[in-house]
Structure 1
Amino acid sequence: MSSSSDRKVIFVTGANTGLGLEIIKALCKSTTAYHIFLGSRDPVKGEEAAKQVQQELPSTQSTIQVIQTDLSSDDSLEKAIETISSTTGHLDILINNAGASFDGQIKSNKMSIREAWNGSWDTNVSGTQVLTTLAIPLLLKSSNPRLLFMTSGTSSLIETDKFGHPAMARINASPEKGWPKDKGLNPIVSYRSTKTGLNMLMRDWCRVLKNDGVKVWAISPGFLATGLGGVGPEILKKMGALDPSVGGGFTVDVVEGKYDEHVGKVIRKDMVQPW
């Protein structure tokens, strides 16, 4: 096994479940050795996830360190970066994967519109911006720094007129005349708007870090059967969602240089996503 000083240092937020966990697994399957900071809002769930990966992949060359990461808390984010700084002294790759969707909470009357929208933007955009800003000094100590933002295929403005794919036909369809409108099976309007905002955030970091040699992307991982939004993976699979491992492998391909020609873009596995 390689020494810790030989390993690339990577921080993945929201990594105890769903796509984040699949990214961790894909990293551990790689021939490249990583020291992985597994970001989890609940450290106990983070440790359970780390143990699961280590049991599934006992021969991995990579190491996993759980780090408490709550995007709604500046104190949590500051402590996370302090931990990375004191442990490794630098960061090679930051994957801003953590995200939240509260549209279903509006539908079920568990949150007001304002609460749900503020929650979505606070986690998906504001918290991501705070963490990224805190992490930049550590990234600039890397010889090949990479910064990834996890966006969504639903974030494209031009594709709000797209109806060819069943998932797009469903979310872009107009309801019947009258009020109130049917809230739909899987409401995502606050979620997709935050991801459109996140795309602009990515573009601005691309501008800010252009002369620092930091490679920046937004990753559109595809329609995946995760627990995001509370709909449930099985229902999402019936809608055509793919296994989250597909997105995990794609993200690691970006980390390892297979999409370097598309720096500064929103990228899907097979194409550059239109704005």
Structure 2
Amino acid sequence: MASSDPKIVLVTGGNTGLGYEIIKALYALPEPYTLLIGTRTISKGEAAVNQLKSEIPTSESTVSVIQVNVSSDVSIEAAIASITSTYGRIDALINNAGAGFDGEIRDEKMSIREAFNASWDTNVSGTHVLTTLAVPLLLKSADPRLMFVTSGTSSMWETQPENWGTMVALARINGSPVAGWPKPKEMAPITGYRSTKAGLNMLMREWTRILKNDGVKVWAISPGFLATNLGGLSPAMLRKMGTLEPHVGGEFVRDVVQGKHDDRVGLIIRSQQTQAW
């Protein structure tokens, strides 16, 4: 890799939500990147590329679509084989693909076991498989970076009332319902989702340990409460709850790619602070 070569960045779930905003933030930079939009559906990835080029007509970077479904080993293996033959390395792997199925339990569309298994498979197991297969490509980079997109809801320390401070959101997601059973249905249940993201935090720590002597910089990134479609609530409804615009999260991850948070390697990082475990 020559120092002038564009850095190659793979963003899973890159066609929508935070993933798209990460791609967009990097695409808008004056320095060139080779951006790979990881997506389950090629047509959705291509639509994202068209949208990106309409929003940013000129760029020094290139953007391509890589089909990858993190719930399928066959899909992951094919994606890694394609990247290996075409590019030969990855400079930054951003494990952004994620899903929440708690609303499916609430609406009786999935059983608890089905929904929990689907959440863990997408958010943790699939991410681990992809990362494992991508490590040889990362080790070909002169400055390898590995990121896991976690959640502000994953902090166990912040589940304690004495640690909420004045943060209304913490009181809302960690407050206890009234006595009795069954409990009232929640508008935005997150039990399974936040459990998997807490697991993802430990996975980040494991990869920090495993790759420590290989020079790979590893983070879990907590991008903030963003107005995306994650969790089944519309962006409009989320904005009423005080969310940030998605581009804020994208720009934060861009900064990590650019080295602006290298002093916080191995931690769960928010843009302005380190997230408590």
**TM-score normalised by length of structure 2:** 0.96
- Residue in structure 2 matching 1:226, options 228, 233, 248: 228
Amino acid at match of 1:219: I
The superposition leaves residues 205-225 of structure 1 with CA deviations (integer Å, 9 ceiling, x where unpaired) of 000000000000000000001
Structure 2: how far apart are the matches of 1:117 and 1:42? Answer: 23
SS of 2:140's partner is: coil
How many equivalent residue pairs?
272
The superposition leaves residues 32-58 of structure 1 with CA deviations (integer Å, 9 ceiling, x where unpaired) of 211111001111001000111012112
Structure 2: how far apart are the matches of 1:137 and 1:14? Answer: 21
1:97 equivalent in structure 2: 96
RMSD between aligned residues? 1.1
| Structure 1: runs of 5 or more not aligned | none
Residue 231 of structure 1: how far off its partner (Å): 1.1
Structure 2: how far apart are the matches of 1:165 and 1:32? Answer: 38
- Residue in structure 1 matching 2:214, options 209, 212, 215: 212
List aligned pairs for 1:42-81, cutoff 5 A: 42-81=41-80
1:106 equivalent in structure 2: 105
Residue 165 of structure 1: how far off its partner (Å): 1.6
Residue 183 of structure 1: how far off its partner (Å): 2.2
**Does structure 1 residue 191 correspond to structure 2 residue 190?**
no
Aligned sequence identity (%):
62
Structure 2: how far apart are the matches of 1:208 and 1:258? Answer: 23
1:149 equivalent in structure 2: 148
Structure 1: how far apart are the matches of 2:59 and 2:30? Answer: 8
The superposition leaves residues 216-253 of structure 1 with CA deviations (integer Å, 9 ceiling, x where unpaired) of 00000000010001111111110111110000000000
**TM-score normalised by length of structure 1:** 0.97
| Structure 2: runs of 5 or more not aligned | none
Amino acid at match of 2:44: K
Q: Flag as ranges the 4+ runs of structure 1 deviating above 4 A.
A: none
Amino acid at match of 2:70: L
The superposition leaves residues 121-153 of structure 1 with CA deviations (integer Å, 9 ceiling, x where unpaired) of 000000000000000000000000000000000
The superposition leaves residues 13-36 of structure 1 with CA deviations (integer Å, 9 ceiling, x where unpaired) of 001110000001001011221111
Residue 182 of structure 1: how far off its partner (Å): 1.1
Residue 69 of structure 1: how far off its partner (Å): 1.0
Structure 2: how far apart are the matches of 1:154 and 1:183? Answer: 19
Structure 2: how far apart are the matches of 1:114 and 1:202? Answer: 25
- Residue in structure 2 matching 1:272, options 262, 271, 274: 274
SS of 1:119's partner is: helix
Residue 256 of structure 1: how far off its partner (Å): 0.3
Amino acid at match of 2:82: T
